[in-house]
Structure 1
Amino acid sequence: MSASARYERAARRTQATGRVPALSVALRRADREPWIFTVGDSGNADFPLSPDTRFRIGSVTKTFTAVLVMQARDDGLLDLDEPISAYLDVPAHGDATVRRLLSHTAGFQREPFGDLWDTLVSPSAAELIADLGKAERVLPNARRFHYSNLAFAVLGQLAAHLNGTTWERLLTDRVLEPLGLHATTVRPPAQAAVGYVVDAYSDAARPEPNLDAAGAGPAAQLWSTAADQATWASFLVSPETVDPDGKVLAAATLDEMRWPHTTREEDVWAGGFGLGLMLAPQGKRAMHIGHNGAMPGFLAGVHGRRGGEDTPDGLGVAVLGSAGTAGETIELAHELLRLAVELDPAEIRQWRPAPPAPREYRSVLGLWWSEGSPFVFSWHDGALQARVAEAPADAPPSIFAPRPGEPDVLRTVSGREAGEQLRLTRDASGAVSSMHWATYRFTRLQDAFDGGLASDGSE
């Protein structure tokens, strides 16, 4: 059975067992045409189910808002570690920092003030901010993870305020248009699917109302297609495959967003959050990155895969369903990512000889000792690298870059001791005779902290 046939079978099983009226699925990777599949009935008499059918993506919207906030940071409009009161006039909770709001660790209550899910009336942008004084801080700042739609609603209004526009206009101009996500909209278009609640004890399905999130829109408002959202998932994990010029966000900023800031649970470290992104470890150094979404009548799973052996570049999946009761919809996104690596792995790149290391670094290469342990320094992909000699083969190396004009002082740009300096000391011949990395001494022979050789024992 081909990979696409296996994907289709998994989607059909999810639609049937999850009892999802309409399911739309897309898988994207940099080296293939997108795979798109739909099954079911849109519930829209004028627009039968097709790849262009639009679904509510709920909290996947938060990832877009997080990107807008990081754009503002990169534009010099805010500092992630400053309180929101430095940028926005709020009646309460102004000490919450932007970083804490992005990582759901600011302690904001889950929803905007009021009984939104009873009234189905969301506050305007102005009302949302004005009502912050009535909203609770349910946990102390930085105490632990607590998911908050209110936090992201405030972040969206913050980004809009700093740019002197609305969240909708900012999103369109700075993200949707540059990436060509033309099927992603704030309002439901004519080809929108109907969302349902499916009865637990029969096959009845009742249409759900379409809630306009209004001022809380930055947390959950968007509609989209599976194809658009698979592209978005690819952008989140491999921006170089979707936005090679960094028009939307620098790749280094997305690296920052993907770094874990908190676990979701204290005793089960199976998932966490970066800056606006859900993180789901998969073992063997692979990570699924993206977000789930839920609104009345709809569930969405939008995730990309990064790291791990055989993962293709730009691997992203979106699964959009028209039942708010089918958790299988979200799990299918993760299943398809795993299947893609199993059934259609990345090509193994041929090794080719490369130019030698620059002359000034050749005496660094090889085995060194520090704290009694062996490290191997090497030159690959145009950079000096280091690894603990006994590290697992899949452990990423530390990578160094020389400081401008100082070839003997390098900065660790990734891996172990990221950010720390590596200082080289040379002998009279110009060869490197010792090194200091993060202030620890590195020598060619195994020695103790007093400088004596370990092989000399206690003599």
Structure 2
Amino acid sequence: MSATDQRATPAEVARYYERTVRRAQRTARVPAVQVALHRADRPLWTFEVGEAGGGATLDADTQFRIGSITKTFTAVLVLQCRDDGLLDLDDPVSAHLSVPAHGDLTIRRLLSHTAGLQREPYGDIWDTLAVPSLAETLAGLEQAERILPPGRRFHYSNLAFALLGHLAAAKRGGSWAEVLADRILTPLDLPLTLQPGPNAATGYLVDAWSDHARPEPRTDLGGVAPAAQLWGTAAQLARWGAFLADPTAIDPDGKVLSADTLVEMRHPTVLRDEQVWTAGWGLGLIVRPGRDRGTDVGHGGAMPGFLAETYGRVSGTDDDVPGAFAAAVLLSAGNGDRALGLSTTLLDAAVERDPADIQPWRIGTPVPDEWAGLLGHWWGEGFEYVFRWRDGHLEASGADDAPGVPPAVFGIEGPDLLRSVSGREIGEPLRLTRDEQGRIVRLHWATYRFTREQQTFDGVWASRP
């Protein structure tokens, strides 16, 4: 059924979701699966299948370990510090945290996994399960390797995010756990925890050659906690994914982070794999291309006995995508990776089978007199552009742009001066020139001349000999 077909009933949609999750649980052989789908225009949908193990009851409140999804919380803490003027992303770590080595690495490089720092703290922690304390993590930097030059390419590093978490905590004057609770979890009503509660699921390694499964040890990450320590539910993580994709819907007053900063975090900084362009990395966030120029933003997680993922969908030009739209999937098998991708499957199914209601077009306000003469067709560099007034602002598109290409959007800075705030030539000024009668006769956008007739660069109409 496509979005253009007759809409399915809520019961039919829920049944399809449930069968999709059940199939994934059975195929991937995961003892317990818990999922949630969050969207602004529907009630929260949650579902779980399997057994939690260890005498716990599997329901919507059962906790799972979320692993590296923790990094997205740490990244937000760092960006909060930047927005509050406590640091600059291009500052070296040593400007804000006392470290014995690698202090020249910048905060931005650590956030985007382009610092070249080794993946784990010094020592074989996943062999011995002897995780270093904060003091030991910092001291171990003297033995930690810089395996790549900074900026060379993507290289995932838990050590980098451990440093970022403790740096943010130091700027706020508390521990990472205290700052996390105060600055994110409490304002967003997300009761994630550092340690599992009494109804937490057991994490397993499922035997490859039989249906037996053995519990994995629960490991406290000590000084590496800002990279992967948290426990939570799918409902909590789906709300968090919705915040990452659509912060104005979850945090309308911007108490946790401004929408502009989330846009900055979602902008791809580096490709995860230069040969397969399927995912990039922003500032602490995985960014994956979606349908109709949309993107999915979020993170995955893996800890002994657990896998997790949460992604929010940022709509491009698809009217069927609702707001505050995200899915989370929690798995109680460290080798249940065949069920990963279920969050994307659920997001796609929701758009296909239960699309958002299309809002009607409504008559808008008239164009202000000072900008009315700017509308219509202009030519620049030999190409035709169309300037329009939409939703209280000026937009410009190439006359031959493919459907769905977002327009340039302009903000007004002063008389006859605007600036592109999104789309083409973002950040560049648009200057207007008027004749003696006050009519707009010429534009300069990013210094390029725009006129009503197609002209050569020396100002001659192309139609003239």
What's the TM-score bracket when you normalise by the shorter of the two chains? over 0.9
Cα deviation per residue 1:358-411 (whole Å; 9 max; x = unaligned)? 0000000000000000000000010011011111221111111111xx221111
TM-score (norm 1): 0.98
Q: Aligned match of 2:88 in 79, 96, 105? A: 79
Q: Aligned match of 2:365 in 355, 361, 381? A: 355
After superposition, residues 265-414 of structure 1 pair within 5 angstroms as 265-308=273-316, 309=318, 310-403=320-413, 406-414=414-422
Q: What residue number does 1:223 align with?
A: 231
Deviation (angstroms), 1:267: 1.7
Q: What residue number does 1:431 align with?
A: 439
Q: Aligned match of 1:59 in 68, 82, 86? A: 68
What is the letter of the counterpart of residue 403 of structure 2? A
1:159 aligns with 2:168: yes
Deviation (angstroms), 1:444: 0.1
Q: Aligned match of 2:272 in 264, 279, 300? A: 264
Deviation (angstroms), 1:307: 1.8
State the distance in 1 between where 2:296 and 2:20 align.
18
State the distance in 2 between where 1:454 and 1:289 align.
46
Where structure 2 has 5 or more consecutive residues not aligned to the other structure, the ranges are: 1-7
What is the letter of the counterpart of residue 410 of structure 1? L
1:250 aligns with 2:258: yes
Cα deviation per residue 1:261-319 (whole Å; 9 max; x = unaligned)? 00011121110100000011124212111000000000001101112312110101000
Q: What residue number does 1:443 align with?
A: 451
Cα deviation per residue 1:235-283 (whole Å; 9 max; x = unaligned)? 0000111111111101111010000000011121110100000011124
State the distance in 2 between where 1:251 and 1:283 align.
22
| Partner SS for 2:341 | helix
Q: What residue number does 2:133 align with?
A: 124
Cα deviation per residue 1:198-254 (whole Å; 9 max; x = unaligned)? 011110100000010011000000000000000000000001111111111011110
State the distance in 2 between where 1:164 and 1:122 align.
24
State the distance in 2 between where 1:332 and 1:166 align.
34
Q: What residue number does 2:249 align with?
A: 241
State the distance in 1 between where 2:68 and 2:152 align.
23
Identity, in percent, stands at: 57
State the distance in 2 between where 1:237 and 1:297 align.
28
State the distance in 1 between where 2:337 and 2:424 align.
38
Q: What residue number does 2:3 align with?
A: none
State the distance in 2 between where 1:41 and 1:77 align.
46
State the distance in 2 between where 1:251 and 1:305 align.
15
What is the letter of the counterpart of residue 338 of structure 2? E
Q: Aligned match of 2:107 in 98, 113, 121? A: 98
What is the letter of the counterpart of residue 234 of structure 1? A
Deviation (angstroms), 1:330: 2.1
Cα deviation per residue 1:124-174 (whole Å; 9 max; x = unaligned)? 111111111110001000000001111001100100111110000000010
1:419 aligns with 2:427: yes
1:201 aligns with 2:212: no
Where structure 1 has 5 or more consecutive residues not aligned to the other structure, the ranges are: none
What is the letter of the counterpart of residue 38 of structure 2? R
Q: What residue number does 1:16 align with?
A: 26
Q: What residue number does 1:148 align with?
A: 157
State the distance in 1 between where 2:324 and 2:211 align.
38
What is the letter of the counterpart of residue 29 of structure 1? R
State the distance in 1 between where 2:338 and 2:240 align.
21
Deviation (angstroms), 1:19: 0.5
CA contact (8 A) 1:300 1:329 kept: no
| Partner SS for 1:168 | helix
Deviation (angstroms), 1:329: 3.0
Q: Which is worse superposed, 373-382 or 266-275?
A: 266-275
CA contact (8 A) 1:84 1:95 kept: yes
Structure 1 stretches of at least 4 aligned residues deviating more than 2 Å after TM superposition: none
CA contact (8 A) 1:299 1:329 kept: no
After superposition, residues 177-188 of structure 1 pair within 5 angstroms as 177-182=186-191, 184-188=192-196
| Partner SS for 2:136 | helix
State the distance in 1 between where 2:374 and 2:321 align.
32
CA contact (8 A) 1:287 1:306 kept: yes
Q: Which is worse superposed, 255-264 or 322-331?
A: 322-331
What is the letter of the counterpart of residue 219 of structure 1? A
State the distance in 2 between where 1:101 and 1:6 align.
41
Q: What residue number does 1:32 align with?
A: 42
State the distance in 2 between where 1:356 and 1:378 align.
12
| Partner SS for 1:94 | coil
Q: What residue number does 1:172 align with?
A: 181
Deviation (angstroms), 1:415: 0.7
State the distance in 1 between where 2:365 and 2:286 align.
40
Q: Aligned match of 1:110 in 107, 119, 125? A: 119
| Partner SS for 1:452 | coil
State the distance in 2 between where 1:283 and 1:318 align.
19
